Amino acid sequence: MAINLDDPKKLRGLRDQAHQVAMNMLRPISRKYDRAEHTYPTELDMLAAILDGLNDSGTSQGAGAAGVRRTEDAGPTGNRNGANMATVMGAVEMCWGDVGMMLTMPRQGLGNSAIASVADEEQLERFKGTWASMAITEPGFGSDSAAVSTTAVKDGDHYVLNGEKIFVTAGERSDSVVVWATLDKSLGRAAIKSFVVPKGTPGMKVERLEHKLGIRVSDTAVISFTDCRVPAENLLGTPDIDVSKGFAGAMATFDNTRPLVAAFAVGCAKASLDLTRDLLDRAGVTVDYDRPAQNQVAAAARFMQLEADWNAAYLLMLQAAWMADNRRPNSLEASMAKAKAGRVGSEITLACVELCSTVGYSETELLEKWARDSKILDIFEGTQQIQQLIVARRVLGLTSAELK
């Protein structure tokens, strides 16, 4: 079977447009907002309006967070490049401009992917246009999302939420928050559901914003919920607890967001590689693709190795997105893409700083910023270690309890 590794033809226009936005709008203000931590880039409002116009006209492909909705038909050919592929390709280019600004784009939050993945048709329409952040992590756990202790207790036609969430990306700026909570702690993972909580709901409070190593333009919030009453219809998907399905419903969100985070890492790493190649060339170090690496200077050989790692991450990302578009189970591939891109993205950006020496370490270029920004992409949405556990379980056919 032949495999075409080129970008899909119908999405190349989107890719090129996103690159132009990244180059002309995001990159020029990247340093400004890195220094002005937590300051909202008002320039993004115009870009959001453009994306809204494209969505309303039906001419956009991936101008928004896409979801893994396996009930849709993949088409008569069984080979579809749809919203998931378009979203990751667009995200790569936007993050070539600035990862933090991609994370703070209005109506493009990680919670939007959760809504798109889990919501029923009525909820999709009702929450259309909201800017949703996603609240999973709590003070008592990091990567083990099954350890959610925030509670949701049914009270008439509402659920009452109590708990605290940390590291909520765009937690202050978003219109609503997708909150993971348990309906019954004794029933384990199967009782974990997600709720759309609009900002301003009594009992929900943004406690503080975190100061961070990277993605400083993005606000990362601590949010508390104290007797916070949420309409029952804001529970995404079904309220039924099916112990036989375990954590499957909640994990559908990650099947979508992990390739997206992989795209963030791929885009940031590509920015570092592009600039490093230019800086090396100015210094008289030419990367010659017609000669093997061992026959070139050490810096050129190292650069070629970094590019090979980048290509592997890029292809894994495309595979996970393509499988989602074609309604194929992609949990394994989503974790593989996230694990590879997260790790090599951080390695590539740091290596580029090293290759460029004092220029790489100084603020005269953005290389040091990209090295700081990229580290979080190997941590959130499941750390490197968690992704490796997921991959091992699926490849070996073992449960969490069996894989020690």
Q: Which residues are the active-site residues?
A: 381
- 3-state class of 15 per DSSP? helix
How would you label 44-81 residue by residue, b for 16+ Cβ within 10 Å and e otherwise?
Answer: beebeeebbebeeeeebbbbbbbbbbeeeeeeeeeebb
**How close are the terminal C-alpha atoms of the chain, in Å?**
38
Is the Cα torsion angle 114, 250, 223, 205 positive or negative in sign? positive
Hey, what are 161's tokens?
A: 């939420």
**What is the number of H-type helices and E-type strands within the chain?**
13, 7
Q: Which helix (H) or strand (E) holds 65?
A: none
Q: How far apart are CA 237 and CA 363, in angstroms?
A: 47
**Strand positions, DSSP E, 136-285:** 151-155, 158-169, 176-182, 192-198, 204-209, 220-231
Hey, what are 359's tokens?
A: 């220029």
- 3-state class of 104 per DSSP? coil
The label of the residue with tokens 């919030």 reads: 221
> Phi/psi at 221 (nearest 5 deg)?
-110, 155
Give me the count of residues in the chain: 404
Q: Do 70 and 327 form a contact (C-beta atoms < 8 A)?
A: yes
Amino acid in the structure at residue 62: G
Q: How far apart are CA 259 and CA 240, in angstroms?
A: 28
Give the gyration radius of the chain's Cα atoms.
Answer: 21
Hey, what are 20's tokens?
A: 């132009």
| Residue 358, Cβ density class (10 Å: 0-12 exposed, 13-18 middle, ≥19 buried) | exposed
